[in-house]
Structure 1
Amino acid sequence: MNSLMHLLQFTDSAFPVGTFSFSNGLETAAHMGIVHDADTLEQYARSVSLQAAYSDGVASLMAHRAASTKDYDSIVKIDHEIMLFKMNDEARLMLKRMGKKLAELGTKLFPDDDLFRRWLEDIDAGKTPGSYPVAQGIAFALAGLDEKSLYASHQYGVINMVLSAALRCVRVSHYDTQKILFKLSEETMTHFKRASEMTFDDMNSFVPEMDIFASLHERGMMRMFMN
């Protein structure tokens, strides 16, 4: 029961790490008319999900394994590696802001363990980026949650971030977004099976259109979201 409660807490959209501030490029896609209804939103959310599944998702699993064995050097290495997959400034900013928020919260949730505290000190000192996937891996390991729970939470968060933003900038209803979330959630286990066997050399995140959307958004005049 405790594990289930922790999983719900870490996956809740109200979990205070700032996901509501970002749209993963959706705002630009909507402004350009590329995403304009439920069907195009589903396609976009799936693309975001796939991009994260085999990059951020893999990093979170690797961080979980490193945190489980208290291998701090590997945690720092993973943290640096995942940032190499982020081609635009806003994606890097998103990961670092959310990661640091979770690191700060982690020191409060796990006061008897120094892993988050040490990592946060290195983030503040500029020794490591402090990415959100790594923070998720550490948090789930310290909470005793398994890799499947971590990956499900990661994918849920990525998809729900886009769908929540869509309610503010795309002509869709809550019924539409919940239907999309339900459908895409059923694909998560397939991604997990592949991602759980991947290493740094296997990771990929090639969805260039999203990096274009992000670069346009950085200079855009209409901005509700950070990216």
Structure 2
Amino acid sequence: MNARALLHLLQLASPALPVGGYSYSGGLETAIELGRVRCADTAAHYLARQLADVLATWDGAVYWRLLGACRDGDDAAFRQWNARYLASRDSAELRAETVQMGFSLARLLEELGLAPPVAARETCLPAALAQAVQALGVPHDEALLAMLFSWAENAVLVCVKSVPLGQVAGQRLLLSLRPAIEDAAARARALPDEELSSWAPGLSWLSMAHEVQHGRLYRS
């Protein structure tokens, strides 16, 4: 990867990107509230399982296809995978999370002069990220790894603030997830369409429980 593409990728993956990622936990806050995630070891197990069972088989795999659709200029495939991803969000909070962040990123790209005006609010975050990668000329393999790392980094920050974990423990946790991130990326690239799956009933239940959880810090 050349220096320009690397710098673009670092900007896209930065937690400072103003799309609101810090305000969501994706159901993790409920897992912490229920004691399923209560220390560094249980956090590592929970996040590694989510990378293997959710990110690799659906979020990352759909993102990989959206990247390909952008590269090929295949608008029909892009719309199809965007719609499928939105349909897979089986709680109000998970859908609101991806739509809000997708819209915010699409609006940011527009304001930076990297994309045409936003036509509609119903753009999922992976679709908006794929458009950004295409506009900035970032290689797809690295873009997929960055997307998975960004997800893991945000989840670790939730654990640091809410378990709570210390800053060093949080960085140790993030470092320990490297093999799981690499494995998830490899699987997302290799899965054929018929093997993609968003089946994660436990995560769906945690997300729906979060909607009525008392004293929430996060929006999902």
Could you state the TM-score of these two structures normalised by the residue count of structure 1? 0.89
Q: Which residue of 1 aligns with 2:138?
A: 145
- Given the alignment, which residue of 56, 60, 67 partners 1:53? 56
Task: Note the C-alpha offset of 1:209.
Answer: 1.6
RMSD in angstroms over aligned alpha carbons?
1.5
Task: Note the C-alpha offset of 1:173.
Answer: 0.9
Q: Which moved more, 1:171-180 or 1:17-26?
A: 171-180
Task: Note the C-alpha offset of 1:73.
Answer: 2.0
Q: Which residue of 2 aligns with 1:213?
A: 206
- Given the alignment, which residue of 163, 174, 178 partners 2:171? 178
Pairs within 5 Å for 1:31-42: 31-42=33-44
**Poorly superposed stretches of 4+, deviation over 3 Å:** none
- Over the matched positions of the two proteins, sequence identity in percent amounts to 23
Look up the SS of the partner of 1:194 in the other structure.
Answer: helix
- 1:165 aligned to 2:158? yes
For residues 30 and 190 of structure 1, the distance between their equivalents in structure 2, rounded to whole angstroms, comes to 25
- 1:81 aligned to 2:84? yes
CA contact (8 A) 2:91 2:208 kept: yes
Deviations 1:89-131 (A, max 9, x none): 11111111111111111113344x53xx3xx21x24xxxx210
For residues 61 and 179 of structure 1, the distance between their equivalents in structure 2, rounded to whole angstroms, comes to 28
Task: Note the C-alpha offset of 1:205.
Answer: 2.7
Look up the SS of the partner of 1:105 in the other structure.
Answer: helix
- Given the alignment, which residue of 190, 203, 207 partners 1:197? 190
Task: Note the C-alpha offset of 1:187.
Answer: 2.8
Q: Which residue of 2 aligns with 1:30?
A: 32
For residues 151 and 69 of structure 1, the distance between their equivalents in structure 2, rounded to whole angstroms, comes to 17
For residues 110 and 186 of structure 1, the distance between their equivalents in structure 2, rounded to whole angstroms, comes to 36
When the two structures are aligned, how many residues end up with a matched partner? 217
Q: Which residue of 2 aligns with 1:8?
A: 10
For residues 59 and 109 of structure 2, the distance between their equivalents in structure 1, rounded to whole angstroms, comes to 19
Q: Which moved more, 1:77-86 or 1:46-55?
A: 46-55
CA contact (8 A) 2:55 2:184 kept: no
For residues 51 and 184 of structure 2, the distance between their equivalents in structure 1, rounded to whole angstroms, comes to 10
For structure 1, the 5+ residue unaligned runs are none
Deviations 1:32-75 (A, max 9, x none): 11111101111121133231222111111111111112222221
Deviations 1:112-155 (A, max 9, x none): x53xx3xx21x24xxxx210011111111221111111111111
The 3 A distance-change label for structure 1 pair 143 and 79 is same
**Amino acid paired to 1:33:** G
- Given the alignment, which residue of 64, 67, 75 partners 1:64? 67
- Given the alignment, which residue of 90, 94, 106 partners 1:91? 94
For residues 199 and 36 of structure 1, the distance between their equivalents in structure 2, rounded to whole angstroms, comes to 36
CA contact (8 A) 1:62 1:137 kept: no
CA contact (8 A) 1:52 1:158 kept: no
